[in-house]
């Protein structure tokens, strides 16, 4: 049974997911059974398994042994979290967490350059205020420990921590930090000034509305407020677009779509910008029934016109916090050739995910079960915007400034 979901599960942060330790009863045999079950599902259903070069036999040995040390709900959850983290893929994870779990992301992104880690992007569109210039700062330590030592001690044992992709993924995971631990960074700024920066002092701007819209000098702006998983967004988008139909250009801001969404909402938006049935992405996966052979399947998905067509130029804004369905929507606009995409690399969440229930747990996990592509054949996770923004320390909204410049011309 396949559920084509393109989202980071919002329930990760719900109160029902914060499991408590009272009355924990350990059944080691069932813990081991579920370890093998997860690995079996990865082997059969995780479409990026062969790309990751992780030894499944190593996983079976390591995590069967680790099950012996489980003595609480926290250590149980950590067992399965660590197992999934071996694949350095933020799109696969449990749908539950504890206070000792790692967060999914941070309001900064760090990149590996010449063996050192630097802050390359900051979530400026969502941070209320920040008085320190962070772009280009070198990471000296986190809570007094070097990033290199934190990577070495990160609880994965079967992936290659010398692989630059693994290193950068783990580095951003430890920067995101655990819920119950501080995140105090020691930084060396581009001007060679040493500073301390507490990530937990950063205030993220939240919005009660599904979107925001306005116009300036004949240019319309629609900003999606992390709501691509809310079906009511379609009607609100229609209403906003109706008010902006006579603008000379339109900016759709997807920089705050970190929680992903669903294809129903994405196609509802996309359908306002096509004149006829148009392919907007390619799906690929291996189908199997029972013990039968794996049969590769690949097809184009189409979007059909709905409502009054918006005919003027469009710019899509994206960033590191454009995730999953946000990424899919941005690439879909590029695929139907109606918009220019401006921004940084996105979250790079690969594929479409399905949920899987454990045999002996009352929570579940998700795996990427389909590969997704731009209509030109490029994998979604490798897409780079046409107009790249290299964030600087100027303080203005460089993304929006570039969008207005393109539309004015």
pLDDT reported for residue 394: 64
pTM equals: 0.88
- What band does 122 get if pLDDT is binned at 50, 70 and 90? very high
Q: What's the CA gap between 234 and 232, in Å, rounded?
A: 5
pLDDT in tens, 142-180: 999 999 999 999 999 999 999 999 999 999 999 999 999
pLDDT in tens, 178-207: 999 999 999 999 888 999 999 999 999 888
Sign of CA dihedral 331, 216, 389, 10: negative
- What band does 60 get if pLDDT is binned at 50, 70 and 90? very high
pLDDT in tens, 287-337: 778 778 878 889 999 999 999 999 999 999 999 999 999 999 999 999 998
Give the SS3 label for residue 227: coil
pLDDT reported for residue 80: 95
pLDDT, mean of residues 344-357: 92
| Percent of the chain predicted with pLDDT > 90 | 78
In terms of Cα–Cα distance, which of 372, 381, 386, 382 is closest to 281? 372
Burial of residue 204 (CB within 10 Å: 0-12, 13-18, 19+) is exposed
Q: What's the CA gap between 24 and 76, in Å, rounded?
A: 10
Considering all CA atoms of the chain, what is the largest pairwise distance in Å, rounded to the nearest integer? 66
| Percent of the chain predicted with pLDDT > 70 | 94
Q: Which residue has the higher pLDDT, 286 or 379?
A: 379
Q: Does residue 83 surpass a pLDDT of 90?
A: yes
pLDDT, mean of residues 346-366: 93
Q: Compute CA 314 distance to the chain's CA centroid, rounded to the nearest angstrom.
A: 24
Main-chain dihedrals φ then ψ at residue 114, nearest 5 degrees: 55, 40
Give 398's contacts (C-beta < 8 A, 6+ positions apart).
389, 391, 392
Q: What's the CA gap between 130 and 137, in Å, rounded?
A: 14
pLDDT in tens, 12-42: 443 334 444 457 888 899 999 999 999 999 9
Main-chain dihedrals φ then ψ at residue 43, nearest 5 degrees: -65, -35
Give 276's contacts (C-beta < 8 A, 6+ positions apart).
304, 305
pLDDT reported for residue 22: 55
Which value, in Å, is the radius of gyration of the alpha carbons in the chain? 22
pLDDT reported for residue 291: 78
Q: Does residue 266 surpass a pLDDT of 50?
A: yes
Q: What's the CA gap between 274 and 252, in Å, rounded?
A: 15
pLDDT in tens, 218-244: 999 999 999 999 999 999 999 999 999
pLDDT, mean of residues 102-117: 93
């Amino acid at each position: 049974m396949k559920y084509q979901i393109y989202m980071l599960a919002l329930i990760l942060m719900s109160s029902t997911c914060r499991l408590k330790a009272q009355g924990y009863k350990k059944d080691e045999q069932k813990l081991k059974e579920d370890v093998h079950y997860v690995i079996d599902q990865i082997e059969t259903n995780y479409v990026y398994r062969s790309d990751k070069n992780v030894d499944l036999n190593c996983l079976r040995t390591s995590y069967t042994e680790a099950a012996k040390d489980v003595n609480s709900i926290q250590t149980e959850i950590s067992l399965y979290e660590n197992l999934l983290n071996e694949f350095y893929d933020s799109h696969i994870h449990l749908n539950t967490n504890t206070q000792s779990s790692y967060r999914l992301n941070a309001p900064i992104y760090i990149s590996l350059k010449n063996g050192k880690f630097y802050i390359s992007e900051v979530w400026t569109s969502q941070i209320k205020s920040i008085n320190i210039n962070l772009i280009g700062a070198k990471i000296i330590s986190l809570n007094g420990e070097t990033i290199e030592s934190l990577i070495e001690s990160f609880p994965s044992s079967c992936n290659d921590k010398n692989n630059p992709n693994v290193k950068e993924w783990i580095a951003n995971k430890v920067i995101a930090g655990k819920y119950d631990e501080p995140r105090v960074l020691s930084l060396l700024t581009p001007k060679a000034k040493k500073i301390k920066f507490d990530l937990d002092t950063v205030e993220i701007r939240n919005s009660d509305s599904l979107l925001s819209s306005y116009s300036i000098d004949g240019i319309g702006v629609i900003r999606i407020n992390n709501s691509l998983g809310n079906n009511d967004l379609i009607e609100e988008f229609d209403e906003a677009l109706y008010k902006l139909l006579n603008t000379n250009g339109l900016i759709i801001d997807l920089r705050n779509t970190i929680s992903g969404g669903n294809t129903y909402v994405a196609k509802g938006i996309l359908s306002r910008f096509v004149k006829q049935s148009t392919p907007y992405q390619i799906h690929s996966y291996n189908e199997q029934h029972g013990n039968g052979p794996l049969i590769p399947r690949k097809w184009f998905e189409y979007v059909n016109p709905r409502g009054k067509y918006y005919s003027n130029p469009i710019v899509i804004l994206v960033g590191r916090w454009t995730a999953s369905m946000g990424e899919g929507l941005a690439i879909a606009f590029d695929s139907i050739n109606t918009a220019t995409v401006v921004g940084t690399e996105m979250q790079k969440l690969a594929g479409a995910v399905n949920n899987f229930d454990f045999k002996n747990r009352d929570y579940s996990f998700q795996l990427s079960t389909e590969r997704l592509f731009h209509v030109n054949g490029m994998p979604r996770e490798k897409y780079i915007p046409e107009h790249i923004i290299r964030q600087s320390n100027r303080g203005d909204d460089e993304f929006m400034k570039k969008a207005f410049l393109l539309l004015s011309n």
